[in-house]
Amino acid sequence: MLKEERQQRILEILRREGKVMASALSDKLEVSEDTIRRDLNDLAEEKYIQRVHGGALLRAPETANFIARQHQGAEVKAGLARVAVQFIRDGQVIILDGGTTNLLVAQNLPPGLQATIITNSPPIAVALADYPKIEVFMLGGKIYKNAQVTVGLDPVDKLRSFRADILILGICSLHPEVGISVPNMDEAEVKRAMLASATEVVALASEEKLNTAAQYIVGPIGEITHLVTESGVSEEILDPYRAIGLTVLRG
């Protein structure tokens, strides 16, 4: 088997199983562990995988900037947003995390909704300004331009002042073992503070973000109460999330 073929096999196994160990790959592909380690290092350098002790996990695809992402996977994101809106009720205090899917949530709330919404996303705050009965708290701080959210000590400190009924959480990477992770350390800190300030957590994740890991851990999978994903995700992929106790819904 050529190196390129072997590395494609490794990625196929990762997509199916969610995690690989070098020793098991060595047996399965009938090559030495040294060869497998070199393959994993190559795939990590190309940003296909995230290395862990003894093996690897898939990495979520490299994300484009916020504007570009608004035009990607629009139908899937709209489906996730429709499900997320069903969790929102009058009188709630809601944390609405950043992201292009959560922007669709903000744009599709019931027109007469009476609620308090806290967000670190300037685009979401602007969208919420059109709702006369929603009180909007915009978390300040430094702008993380790629995601168009505020990060740093200001939003983390301010979040300690709230106890939200629900958090609608944007997902970069989600894995049953690793948990919630993101590629930016400052954003991880803000998301961690959001989790600590919410009673219920609804995570929105398209299929490409499931069973993947990024460099910075936000929290364990058990911090999530509901996972909303797209309709075509296989039961094989979703079963480990249900086994942990998550309620899984499809958009």
pLDDT at residue 200, as a whole number: 98
Please state, rounded to an integer, the average pLDDT across all residues of the chain.
93
The reply to whether the predicted model has a pTM over 0.85 is: yes
Percent of residues, the chain, with pLDDT higher than 70: 99
Residues 77/62, Cβ–Cβ less than 8 Å: no
Q: What does the chain come to in residues?
A: 251
Q: Between the CA of residue 56 and those of 8, 38, 45, 209, 236, what are the distances in Å? A: 14, 12, 12, 15, 19
Q: How many CB atoms lie within 10 A of CB 106?
A: 25
Give the pLDDT band of residue 4 (cuts 50, 70, 90): very high
pLDDT at residue 52, as a whole number: 85
pLDDT at residue 1, as a whole number: 78
Give the pLDDT band of residue 15 (cuts 50, 70, 90): confident
pLDDT at residue 81, as a whole number: 97
Give the pLDDT band of residue 225 (cuts 50, 70, 90): very high
Strand partners, 203: 169, 227
At 120-153, the pLDDT tens digits run 999 999 999 999 999 999 999 999 999 999 999 9
Q: Supply 1's token pair.
A: 């088997």
DSSP the chain: --HHHHHHHHHHHHHHHS-EEHHHHHHHHTS-HHHHHHHHHHHHHTTSEEEETTEEEEPPPPP--HHHHTTSSHHHHHHHHHHHHTT--TT-EEEE--SHHHHHHHHTS-TT--EEEEES-HHHHHHHTT-TTEEEEE--SEEETTTTEEESHHHHHHHTT--EEEEEEE-SEEETTTEEEES-HHHHHHHHHHHHTEEEEEEE--GGGBTB--SEEEE-GGG-SEEEE-TT--HHHHHHHHHHT-EEEE-
Give the pLDDT band of residue 96 (cuts 50, 70, 90): very high
> What does the alpha-carbon distance between residue 43 and residue 37 come to, in Å, rounded to a whole number?
10
Percent of residues, the chain, with pLDDT higher than 90: 83
Whether 165 shows a pLDDT value over 80: the answer reads: yes
Sign of CA dihedral 79, 230, 250, 227: negative
Q: Supply 60's token pair.
A: 């979520």
Give the range among 13-27, 102-116, 143-157 with minimum mean pLDDT.
13-27
At 183-220, the pLDDT tens digits run 999 999 999 999 999 999 999 999 999 999 998 999 99
Q: How many CB atoms lie within 10 A of CB 39?
A: 23
At 32-82, the pLDDT tens digits run 999 999 999 999 999 899 898 889 999 877 676 777 777 788 899 999 999
> What does the alpha-carbon distance between residue 101 and residue 99 come to, in Å, rounded to a whole number?
6
Domains in the chain (CATH in brackets) are: 3-58 (1.10.10.10), 66-250 (3.40.50.1360)
